[in-house]
C-alpha cells in the first residue's frame, strides 16, 4: 500500500536534512499509529505522502504508484481519488453546510463518486449514512453551517468526509488532540470501525500512546528517522 525507499528531504540545499527514511512499508488494511513529537519531521512526512511536496531523493509509492514521479496536477488527482485527510482541527469549509462538507471530495474526484454509485447507493445517502454512524443525523443538523458545530462534531464530520467514497488511504493528523477524553475514545473507535469495514489503510498520527493498543503497527518518527515499535502481522499483501 505505502512503500518508502531511501527517502531524504530538506527544504533547501545546504539545509539540515528534515527526513531520512531508508525503508517503510505499510500493508493494505493496516492501521498504523505514527508517534512523533513536533519537530520530528512528521509534517514533512505527511506532506510527502499526500504529494503536496516531492523529495529530492528516494521514492514514495502509494498503491504501487510512485507519486513523486507524477506531475503536480496528477498528484492532485491521485490524492483526490485515493486519500482522505483529517486535520487536527478546523477541518471544515466555513461557508458550506455539514452535508456539503462531507460531499466535498466527490465534487473533485469522479473515481470516489463512481465507487459509491457502484454500490447502488446515492452519494447523498452514503454521506448521510456515514454521518449517522458517527452520531450526526437530522436534516436540521445536516443543513447547519459548519461553524455552528462543536469541535467534537466538526471532527466527526471531517472523518465522514475522509471516508466518503472509500479512499484506500486515510491520513489522520492528530485528529483527537482537540477532543476531550471520552470523545477521543469514541472517535477512534468509529474511525477504526469504518476503516475495517472498507479495508481502508489508516495512518493515524498522535503522541498519545494510550491509543496504540488499537493499532496493528506502531512507528515512531524521531529526528527524521523511522523506528518501528510494533508490527502485528495482519496478513494481506
Distance of CA 67 to the CA centre of its chain: 16
Measured distance CA(163)–CA(143) in Å, rounded: 19
The 121-160 site mask, x for binding another protein (CB under 8 A), equals: ----------------------------------------
Please tell me the chain's helix, strand, coil percentages from 3-state DSSP, rounded to the nearest 5: 40, 25, 35
Per rule CB under 8 A, is residue 14 in the interface with another protein?
no
**Closest approach of Cβ 23 to another protein, in Å?**
23
Per rule CB under 8 A, is residue 186 in the interface with another protein?
no
Decide whether 104 or 192 has the Cβ nearer to another protein: 104
Per rule CB under 8 A, is residue 211 in the interface with another protein?
no
The 26-45 site mask, x for binding another protein (CB under 8 A), equals: ----------------xx--
Per rule CB under 8 A, is residue 104 in the interface with another protein?
yes
Decide whether 104 or 183 has the Cβ nearer to another protein: 104
Interface residue with another protein among 17, 61, 70, 87 (CB under 8 A) is: 87
Residue 84 backbone dihedrals phi, psi, to 5 degrees: -115, 145
Per rule CB under 8 A, is residue 11 in the interface with another protein?
no
Measured distance CA(187)–CA(23) in Å, rounded: 30
Q: Cα torsion for 186, 189, 195, 196, to the nearest 10°? A: -150
Burial of 218 per CB tally in 10 Å (0-12, 13-18, 19+): buried
Q: Which 3 state secondary structure label does DSSP give 62?
A: strand
Q: How many CB atoms lie within 10 A of CB 234?
A: 12
Residues in the chain: 237
Per rule CB under 8 A, is residue 73 in the interface with another protein?
yes
Interface residue with another protein among 27, 40, 68, 91 (CB under 8 A) is: 91
Residues near another protein (CB under 8 A) are 42-43, 46-47, 50, 52-53, 72-73, 76-77, 79-81, 85, 87-96, 100, 104-105, 107-109, 112, 161, 173
Amino acid at each position: 500500500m505505502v512503500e518508502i525507499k531511501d527517502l531524504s528531504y530538506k527544504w533547501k540545499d545546504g539545509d539540515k536534512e528534515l527526513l531520512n527514511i531508508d525503508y517503510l512499508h505499510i500493508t493494505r488494511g493496516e492501521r498504523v499509529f505514527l508517534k512523533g513529537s513536533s519537530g520530528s519531521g512528521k509534517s514533512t512526512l505527511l506532506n510527502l505522502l499526500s504529494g503536496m511536496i516531492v523529495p529530492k531523493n528516494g521514492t514514495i509509492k502509494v498503491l504501487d504508484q510512485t507519486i513523486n514521479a507524477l506531475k503536480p496536477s496528477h498528484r492532485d488527482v491521485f490524492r483526490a481519488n485515493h486519500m482522505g485527510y483529517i486535520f487536527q482541527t478546523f477541518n471544515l469549509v466555513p461557508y458550506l453546510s455539514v452535508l456539503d462538507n462531507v460531499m466535498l471530495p466527490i465534487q473533485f474526484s469522479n473515481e470516489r463518486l463512481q465507487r459509491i454509485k457502484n454500490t447502488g447507493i446515492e452519494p447523498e445517502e452514503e454521506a448521510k449514512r456515514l454521518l449517522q454512524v458517527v452520531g450526526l443525523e437530522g436534516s436540521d443538523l445536516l443543513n447547519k453551517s459548519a461553524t455552528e458545530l462543536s469541535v467534537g462534531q466538526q471532527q466527526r464530520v471531517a472523518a465522514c468526509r475522509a471516508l466518503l467514497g472509500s479512499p484506500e488511504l486515510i491520513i489522520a493528523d492528530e485528529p483527537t488532540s482537540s477532543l476531550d477524553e471520552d470523545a477521543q475514545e469514541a472517535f477512534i473507535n468509529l474511525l477504526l470501525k469504518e476503516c475495517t469495514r472498507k479495508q481502508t489503510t489508516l495512518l493515524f498520527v498522535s503522541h498519545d500512546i494510550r491509543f496504540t493498543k488499537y493499532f496493528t503497527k506502531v512507528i515512531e518518527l524521531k529526528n527524521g528517522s523511522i523506528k518501528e515499535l510494533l508490527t502485528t502481522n495482519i496478513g494481506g499483501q
